[in-house]
A and B are shown apart, each in its own frame.
Chain A
Amino acid sequence: MIRRFLLALALMLAAAPAFAVNPDEVLADPALEARARALSAELRCMVCQNQSIDDSNADLAKDLRLLVRERITDGDSDEQVLNYIVSRYGEFVLLKPRFSMRTLLLWGAPVLLILAGGASLVVFARKRAGKPTGSKLTEEEQAKLAELLEK
């Protein structure tokens, strides 16, 4: 529910409730345009609440979209475009952070968790082997059981 509030506020920041790419921004070459869209989805709108520049209609997002398209038409590779944008706006602009020392734990989390989980499973299984299982009956339950067996 709260997301709605946040998005609403994000919307209020924007000039009007129009969204994302406008027809006048679209590149003539569909292949280049597709690349531009894919890149836009990975770039954060710096003044919005958790929105990519592809989804946002803030002026800054529009500027960035145009910049991405400009670089693409100038012949930059996807990597070069991202490098250029990061050099101007910092790592914060990337919605998928790059792998580095700072993001080691972020990217490593799934792997570490899987390894830790797997390891503890093995340890538990080893420890458990050969031990008696099941919970012991209480005295009351023992009495009940004895009673039932006598019948």
Chain B
Amino acid sequence: MIIEIGHYALVLALATAIVLSLVPVIGARRGDQAMMDVAPLGSVLLFALVAFSFGVLTYAHVVSDFSVENVWENSHSLVPLIYKYSGVWGNHEGSMMLWLLILSLFSALVAIFGRNLPETLRANVLAVQAWISVAFILFILLTSNPFVRLDPAPAEGKDLNPVLQDIGLAIHPPLLYLGYVGFSVCFSFAVAALLDGRIDAAWARWVRPWTLAAWTFLTLGIAMGSYWAYYELGWGGWWFWDPVENASFMPWLAGTALLHSALVMEKREALKIWTVLLAILTFSLSLMGTFLVRSGVLTSVHAFASDPSRGVFILCILLIFIGGALSLFAFRAPLLSSGGLFAPISREGALVVNNLILTVACGTVLTGTLYPLVLETLTGDKISVGPPFFNLTFGLLMAPLLIVVPFGPLLAWKRGDLLGALQRLYVVAGLAFAAALAFFYIEHGGPVMAVLGLAAGLFLILGAVADLWYRAGIGKVKAEIAWRRLAGLPRSAFGTALAHAGLGITVLGIVTVTTFETEHVVEMKQGQSTDAGGYSIVFDGMQPATGPNYTEERGHFSIRRAGAEVADVWSAKRLYTARQMPTTEAGILTFGLSQLYVSFGDATKDGGIVVRIWWKPFILCIWGGALVMAFGGFVSLTDRRLRVGAPSRKAKAKAAKPAAPAMEPAE
């Protein structure tokens, strides 16, 4: 019964969303306050209904109600409790429900925290959000209903895919979707502004915090997904340029560009039209990512959403929203007035370069992802576009950007002094290069590109420090004045510095791992040892073990350095009994920022086993850098400037948890 109530709540949500998508727009046109007031109330109601429906689905998974087809397909009574919760979105229907839940959450947040938005803008924004909700609720109800019952109910479920039985599934999709779907708010703001035909710096100030919040979550989501793939898949890779990865990476690139162009718009009223376009494009890429992943066009054989009706449905959603928004843009954009002028060498100029490179990089990834598909459709020729292509083109595009980043914050608005910025940075650049060379000689060996990569990474980190250094005037004024100035800098300055330094840290990690990683593929028998990364790894033998829903053969390794045992690690080959599906559980040991990665291959004929051992120097920098970037995003979100008009909430915000500021700035 409860399942049917959940289903019904979703139908009610559809009705609410339809009302919500029409009434406030008409109200905004006519200037009818009562009709506009439907928007905030309706958005909160919509969220409540969707949340209830999602809760019911979660309940069905938790109590293992196998009369629900979705639960039967993707769960098992023996699955540990946490995977019963996370298993809700570990399948097509459930993940669309999560998508919808987060979409309606964002609408509700705009409704609650957007109280000092102009009435018409808020009504329009919430209505546009509701259009998206209508489309996705229809999609779920018509093609991907998670509440379908089975009669008679099976006694046991088919189990959750073993690769998904991991804490990563609990964290990664919600974070990723908070980012992905968060950009819907930017999209709605852009469309609402186009409907209104008026856009100014205040618009950018309202949009920026939402962009920042979405970007921060997307950064965390992508980093988390990368780390999950790294430890779960057992071959030590951390980025595969897989179409599905690209689908989440493209909105990130566009979102990063949007973040920077919204800054120009807010401060200088320039780049208005471009910012609006970028806001539309970013969410369009999120939608397209959903389409690529959900329709299965990229992976015709194995996608779990192999039902063609779903693909067609999402394609229609895609065409309506992207096509509609872009047409609206084409009609309305010429009406928007252009903003402030600036010289080519200025902070605006640097941010334009940032936007140009990021957009081109995003376009390149898009081309690479879709090209095989389009070519095959048009000519029937099959080609592959894989990591070697992306590494080459993306790497070449990113290199100049990495060099430009530290200059941006040091240049003045409107008309900058490149010579001055160069002078301030040459010490930093010199230091970065010297440090990179020293590091290179310590590790001895490796191509020259690695040195340049290391220099670029360090340049980013030191450049971020230099920015704060010069702003505070350290060395020029007395220490306590410098300290006071530093403390008085806006939080966004720290946010920028942190995000840029984080990028540098990630670059360092990528370069060191790609260049200095060592791989050892050996056959080992009990008692034998292998050297990797300055450690000696002794194989102590295998033993069988049983988990709640799997059996495994696990091997123990002692790690020795200079004869003394410093650590030990288990690595295993697992067999999940319900699906008879084998997985490898890699043994990972962390030494500082570096890791030793041990994973098993096949048993050999003479009683040994193939063991793969990788030494991954500074690999944690890759994800650590992303964490620093995201932290920069959060710090920036707590900036006073983003809370202008909300002085009364200031005190509260200081004590607020990191997630809370994300909601405040819209005020």
Contacts and interface: CB of A to CB of B under 8 A. Distances in A.
A17 B573 contact: yes
A87 interface: no
Interface string B384-412: 11111100110011000000000000000
The size class of the interface chain A forms with chain B is 35 or more
Interface in B463-522: 521-522
A91 B381 contact: yes
Contacts of A97: 383-385, 389
Contact of B610 (A8, A22, A109): A22
A90 B381 CA distance: 10
Given A8-B161, A134-B340, A17 B583 contact: yes
Interface in B207-237: 225, 228-229, 232-235, 237
A50 B363 contact: no
B269 interface: yes
Contacts of A44: 384, 386
Interface in B577-606: 581-584, 599-602
B99 to A, nearest CB: 11
Given A16-B602, A109-B363, A133-B340, A6 B385 contact: no
A131 B90 CA distance: 55
A11 B583 contact: yes
A95 B234 contact: no
A8 B244 CA distance: 14
A18 B385 CA distance: 25
Contact of A114 (B176, B356, B384): B356
Contacts of A5: 161, 163-164, 304
B386 A52 contact: yes
Contacts, number: 181
A6 B299 CA distance: 8
B69 to A, nearest CB: 18
B387 A52 contact: yes
A44 B372 CA distance: 14
Interface stretch (A70-78, A100-108, A142-150): A100-108
A113 to B, nearest CB: 4
Contacts of A50: 240, 242-243, 386
Nearest to A54: B235
Given A6-B302, A18-B610, A52-B386, 16 more contacts: A1-B176, A17-B583, A22-B521, A22-B601, A23-B610, A94-B384, A95-B386, A102-B383, A106-B371, A109-B364, A110-B364, A117-B356, A121-B352, A133-B338, A134-B337, A135-B198
Interface of B: 89-90, 95, 161-164, 168-169, 172-173, 176, 198-200, 225, 228-229, 232-235, 237, 240, 242-245, 269, 293, 299, 302-304, 337-341, 352, 356, 359-361, 363-364, 367-368, 371, 375, 379, 381-389, 392-393, 396-397, 521-523, 573, 581-584, 599-602, 610, 612
30 contacts: A1-B176, A2-B293, A3-B242, A4-B163, A4-B168, A4-B229, A4-B232, A5-B161, A7-B229, A19-B599, A21-B521, A22-B601, A55-B235, A57-B601, A91-B383, A92-B384, A95-B387, A96-B388, A102-B375, A102-B383, A103-B371, A103-B383, A109-B363, A113-B363, A113-B364, A114-B360, A117-B360, A121-B352, A131-B338, A134-B269
